Amino acid sequence: MSAGVVPTKEGNRHPSIAPYETFPTADGDIALACGNEKQFLALCTALALPELVDDPRFVTNPYRVENAEELRALLAAAFATNGAAHWHDVLTAVGVPCGPINDVAAAFAFAQSLGLDAVVQVPRPGGGTLAQVADPVTLSATPVEYRNAPPTFGQDTDDVIAWLRSDV
């Protein structure tokens, strides 16, 4: 908006960096953030597409943005030859930021593989616990406290209605 131009819908694509978007692979999607020439060279080499580096349509980021549809088609064909985990390993090894797009179960499994405690057991009033997503922020001086689980359905209805009717 500061340039007087209303942005258009881009989906997962960045409007001024290419390739910077999601791609389907053989078994799921991967997010790719290729933000400079060094990363683009590494990407093209890893995908066995070295000819793209010197292609006039893709030689600089502005040209890649201008020709994003053509670039996307070429990269998508390469990504389709293997799965997201394969491409994540290959591209991460050469310094290209990327990551598989996980469903919720895979996201929790990934957090676990990193040694993160993504789930916490929160005490329920009256006994027992309820599994909840842990706060992802860890602060040493003011750690998160999990005092109570959220109320069960309808548990606080009368209190909320009374509060709404009060002069608070």
14 catalytic, yes or no?
yes
Containing 32, the helix (H) or strand (E) segment is strand 29-33
25 exposed, middle or buried (CB, 10 Å; 0-12, 13-18, 19+)? buried
Q: How far apart are CA 130 and CA 120, in angstroms?
A: 8
Of 47, 41, 33, 40, the closest CA to residue 76 belongs to 47
Crossing angle for the helix pair 37-46 and 84-93, to the nearest 10 degrees: 130
Q: Which of 13, 14, 88, 124 is catalytic?
A: 14
Contact 129, 123 (CB under 8 A): yes
Annotated catalytic residues are: 14
